[in-house]
Amino acid sequence: MLSVTKPEEFLFLWSCICYIYSALKDQFSPFGNIEMNINEAKAWILDRGARKDRYGLDKMYHILEELGQPQREYVNVVIGGTNGKGSVTAIAECILSECEDYNIGSLTSPHLIDMRERIRIKGEKLPDKFWLNGIKELEPIFKVMDKEPSLGSPSFFETVTALAFWSFRETERDIVLLEVGLGGRFDATNSCEPEISVITNIGTDHEEYLGKGKPNIAREKLGIIRKKRPLITSEKDPEMLEIFTNACKEKKTELVVAKDFNYFSLCESSVYGHKIRFAFSDEPVFLGLPGEHQLTNLSLALELIMRLRNHGFNIPDEAIIAGVSKVKWPGRLQWVDANPPVLLDGAHNPEGLETLVNYLETFPPKNPVNIIFGTLKDKPMLDMADRLKKFGHKLCFVPPTSNRAFTHEDFNEAFKNDDRGWVWYDDFNIAFEECRKDSNSIIVTGSLYLISEALKHLHEEV
């Protein structure tokens, strides 16, 4: 048995214990070996939380410097805009993934079920080992940043973006598609130097962050353009296009306005998508993205592909045909074969809701239709609820799982003098079971957080 009789012996023993503890703690820390649990890794990333200080790119520049500037090792395409940027990214990703000459990476947001949906290589989720190894690279950098006020703690989105940049280098990507998270100028994805920039359109979402009115929002989103590097857009508003033109002149870069049906013709549209024919092929191709707006998104994605060709990339016609035929984008006008059938659409802002309304007017679901709707506090909930009301028999409002969701008190206050027929439900599962009664179809729409709950619920039933 060990005996300690003198103070100096005790101090020596205590120092040995502390040293051994420190060594073992680092060795067996979740971030100290590759066998760490992926769920622990995801929890560590989620704990970074939303950005709490001012917006800027200083943190991203510091992280990328510490990582050895991984974003310089491949060609970047940054894709921004209010609506449609995820669909454009998905279409371009599917086409480029069919090219044998190139390795493709993509970063999208938000995720619906699992954060690993955000980072993909050739259309597949980034393998877990890169998430684990990436966190091992980031953790010592973040320890310093967390303690240094002049740097500040990186947010969840900055963490995922930095990990994506690192992983694209480690997996030897050639072309990377980066979907902007919020705005453009100070978005974490804008810490690279894009070969081509894309802005789908300008809406009025996130005015509390980007400024009041479309002109201010446009200027924030135009922060992703670079000198002498083209900007491609499908924006149609003359006022916005004038702002785009002036910004491109300042940067001495080309503005390319994608034209609808420039590279294909429409054969027919259906509730599940569109049959199209390319100018270079006699055989029709089915695009499994419903809604008229997806034809505009396809036109924009094809313009991006043609510009990449102009920049020297070999993208065969066969890759375009095969890629377009394989496109999927969950949670956007997605029909789920359940009992009854369920239409999921993340129409989380007024412009997105108008797209859903146009689709429902063109392809009315079989009545009676019951609706589950939920949105966040920064959205015009009453106006959106009004637009949906005429399509539904039962109208259920469910707050999305977010600290920014409407509370029951908010809901009661909003509807206190107005009988629109909407009924509050605390729980999605209860609302869903209620909507199943006397229904031929169910629509779930609003926040993508709500779409996530619906997908999880439906997945559990399969």
Looking at residue 231, what DSSP letter applies? E
Is it the case that residue 62 has pLDDT exceeding 90? Answer: yes
The per-residue pLDDT for range 297-348, each reduced to its tens digit, is 999 999 999 999 999 999 999 999 999 999 999 999 999 999 999 999 999 8
Task: Give the SS3 label for residue 196.
Answer: strand
Can you give the pTM of this predicted structure?
Answer: 0.90
Domains of the chain listed by start with CATH number: 40-325 (3.40.1190.10), 334-461 (3.90.190.20)
Q: Give the Cβ contact number of residue 50 at 10 Å.
A: 9
Q: What is the pLDDT of residue 17?
A: 58
What b-and-e string marks burial along 171-201, b requiring 16 or more CB atoms within 10 Å of the CB? bebbbbbbbbbbbbbbbbbbbbebbbbbbbb
Q: What is the pLDDT of residue 13?
A: 61
Cβ 89 vs Cβ 314: under 8 Å: no
Distance between CA 192 and CA 61 in Å, rounded? 9
Task: Give the SS3 label for residue 273.
Answer: strand
Lowest mean pLDDT among 37-41, 161-165, 412-416, 431-435: 412-416
Cβ 267 vs Cβ 276: under 8 Å: yes
Cβ 300 vs Cβ 86: under 8 Å: no
Distance between CA 385 and CA 27 in Å, rounded? 54
Looking at residue 431, what DSSP letter applies? H
The per-residue pLDDT for range 396-425, each reduced to its tens digit, is 999 998 888 989 999 998 888 766 689 999
Beta bridge partners of 370: 442
Is it the case that residue 26 has pLDDT exceeding 60? Answer: no
Edge-to-edge strands of the sheet including 285-287?
A: 264-270, 273-278, 285-287
Q: Give the Cβ contact number of residue 144 at 10 Å.
A: 11
Average pLDDT of the chain to the nearest whole number: 91
Distance of CA 336 to the CA centre of its chain: 21
Mean of pLDDT values over 343-371: 94
Q: What is the pLDDT of residue 460?
A: 64
The per-residue pLDDT for range 197-215, each reduced to its tens digit, is 999 999 887 766 687 889 9
The per-residue pLDDT for range 79-129, each reduced to its tens digit, is 999 999 999 999 999 999 999 999 999 999 999 999 999 999 999 999 999
Confidence class of residue 29 from pLDDT cuts 50, 70 and 90? very low
Query: How do the residues of the chain divide into helix, strand and coil, expressed in percent and rounded to 5?
Result: 45, 15, 40
